Amino acid sequence: MTIASYRNGRNILEQIARRVMVERGFLPDFSQAELNEIMQIQQVGDKAATVQKDMRQLLWASIDNDDSLDLDQLTVAEVLPGKGVRILVAVADVDALAKQNSAIDEHARQNTTSVYTAGKVFPMLPEQLSTGLTSLNYQEDRAAIITDMVVNDDGEIQSTDIYQAKVRSHAKLAYNNVAAWLEGKGPAAKAVSDDPTLAENLRIQDRVAQKLRLQRHKHGALELQTLEPRPVFEGDEIRDLQVEVGNRAKEIIEDFMIAANDATARFLREKKIPSLRRVVRTPKRWDRIVEIAAQYKFDLPPEPDSSELERFLVERKTADPLRFPDLSLVIIKLLGSGEYVVESPNEPAVGHFGLAVKDYTHSTAPNRRFPDLITQRILKATISGAPLPYGQVELAQLATHCTQKEDDANKVERQVAKSAAAMLLSSRIGEEFDAICTGAADKGTWVRIFRPPIEGRLLRGFEGVDVGNQLKVRLVHADVEKGFIDFEKVPKY
């Protein structure tokens, strides 16, 4: 494949994505049966949705990526007498239209997630739902599940409630714009500048989110920051990789969603309902994390301790913010991946090591994650007193399947991202780069170069190289079709 042909890069990446998805057992397209269901749903809408409250008058707003159309959440704050603040999170009632055991549901059950690739987004649900009838779109009435939380002045959650309601979005906002405005680095969006009440509400949300975050970190939640490069296209030609960075607006949504997911898990536990939990177990390679900390003259205890690990991470972020994302990536790899498990009411919670919480589920993104849709159905049945939609055996099978498909989706996204990266690097064979080792196992050693932030395999010179080691590498091979990027270690002289 020639360099000139990469001018059609977006289409090439989409073709690669489709091939890899099929190899991993995904359904990249919707069947005729599913499309027929969509036509029927569009005729009926969500008129059958059960709604307990009308909360459309509240100043709900969405904050998401600039190009996001599948809007799962809205948020709003209400100052209470004293120093407490009521935080409300509305999550789209996807189950109202994507019915269990329908053709659409079977597709979602197979894929379990939307797959976000450099060439195309493959949604878990048809776009007529995920970006249309079940998306919390601007100035559209929608059925939603509300997580209602009272937060005190110290950032502690005092009480929670979960119920169904009708909501209406009063503003569609974007992370980067809201963050720039909050940080005094840019003007407010028109919706914010035109409405001082909305502006004040966002500032209240920001203050509460920062207090929630501080409280979580006091309990040992980890300060991790990774590089997430997104392709930048000019027409259909990929021209660059742009790193996504955190900001204050993203933290509002992140902190509120963590709080809502925690509240959901505790709600189901208190009701003695079996539920699907999201867990990150105690890290198996803690010994290597201890070794890496020692390289920075920081002593971690011999047994896993999230609070001490958080103290180390904060120290390193302060000392070297430029390289902190690379250290974070190393720690994430050593912590191990998350998984879905079923928790019975009388069993001890496994917990989420990275978030320092014992009760945690996924419930806030039902348009794009099937575990969230499962949890939503369980929640709705619990609220209404209806029979539970899943038995414990089926839930256990779904937990295993969702964990596997999430891993498969990550591999698809990584492989297509590498194909995109290979397009950028294909003309730079023989160049040398500074790098850090991000993975070392029998199946291979992996490194990430710093600029551009691209990961590839260390093909030669990997002996003795372990996770966290910094080294200089030379690019020796880039295969766009296979997504292979190979380096060799440059020896020191």
485, 421 Cβ separation under 8 angstroms: yes
Residue 142 phi/psi, 5-degree rounding, is -140, 150
Specify the range with the lowest mean pLDDT, choosing from 124-138, 219-233, 264-278.
219-233
pLDDT tens string 179-227:
999 999 999 999 999 999 999 999 999 999 999 988 887 766 666 666 6
Domains of the chain in start order, with CATH, are 4-280+339-420 (no CATH), 428-493 (2.40.50.140)
What average pLDDT does this structure show over 377-384? 96
pLDDT of residue 1 exceeding 60, the answer is no
Specify the range with the lowest mean pLDDT, choosing from 127-136, 181-190, 255-264, 311-320.
311-320
pLDDT of residue 116 exceeding 80, the answer is yes
pLDDT tens string 147-173:
999 999 999 999 999 999 999 999 999
pLDDT of residue 109 exceeding 90, the answer is yes
* Mean pLDDT estimate for the chain: 89
225, 328 Cβ separation under 8 angstroms: yes
At residue 349, the pLDDT reads: 60
Sign of the CA dihedral running 303, 306, 307, 308? positive
Residue 328 and residue 309: Cα distance in Å, rounded? 11
pLDDT of residue 12 exceeding 60, the answer is yes
* pLDDT interval class at 402 (50, 70, 90): very high
At residue 143, the pLDDT reads: 94
* pLDDT interval class at 278 (50, 70, 90): confident
29, 134 Cβ separation under 8 angstroms: no
Which ranges of 296-386 would DSSP assign to H, the alpha helix?
Answer: 306-319, 324-335, 370-384
At residue 4, the pLDDT reads: 42
CA distances, 132 to each of 10, 37, 76, 97, 145 (Å) = 25, 15, 22, 11, 17
Residue 213 and residue 325: Cα distance in Å, rounded? 19
pLDDT of residue 94 exceeding 90, the answer is yes
* pLDDT interval class at 2 (50, 70, 90): very low
pLDDT of residue 353 exceeding 60, the answer is no
At residue 105, the pLDDT reads: 97
Amino acid at 482: K
In which residue are the tokens 């023989």 written?
430
Region of residue 139 (left: phi > 0; alpha: psi -120 to 50; beta: else):
left
At residue 221, the pLDDT reads: 63
Residue 19 phi/psi, 5-degree rounding, is -60, -45
pLDDT of residue 343 exceeding 90, the answer is no
At residue 355, the pLDDT reads: 55
What average pLDDT does this structure show over 92-103? 95
358, 341 Cβ separation under 8 angstroms: no
In which residue are the tokens 């001018």 written?
7
CA dihedral 396, 400, 403, 406 (to 10 degrees): -110
End-to-end CA distance of the chain: 36
- Rounded to 10 deg, the angle between the 103-111 and 370-384 helix axes is 130
* Token pair of 189 as six digits: 């969006």
At residue 439, the pLDDT reads: 81
At residue 236, the pLDDT reads: 82
Residue 355 and residue 306: Cα distance in Å, rounded? 9
pLDDT of residue 3 exceeding 70, the answer is no
Region of residue 25 (left: phi > 0; alpha: psi -120 to 50; beta: else):
left
pLDDT of residue 394 exceeding 60, the answer is yes
Residue 490 and residue 475: Cα distance in Å, rounded? 10
What average pLDDT does this structure show over 119-123? 93
Contacts of 58 (CB under 8 A, 6+ apart): 76, 78, 88, 167
What average pLDDT does this structure show over 18-31? 96
HSE at residue 20, side-chain half, CA atoms within 13 A, is 29
* Token pair of 206 as six digits: 């920001």
What average pLDDT does this structure show over 344-359? 61
pLDDT of residue 72 exceeding 60, the answer is yes
Residue 363 and residue 76: Cα distance in Å, rounded? 18
* Token pair of 140 as six digits: 């559209």
What average pLDDT does this structure show over 317-339? 79
What average pLDDT does this structure show over 51-61? 91
* pLDDT interval class at 90 (50, 70, 90): very high
Residue 258 and residue 298: Cα distance in Å, rounded? 29
Residue 311 and residue 253: Cα distance in Å, rounded? 24
Residue 307 and residue 462: Cα distance in Å, rounded? 33
pLDDT of residue 46 exceeding 80, the answer is no
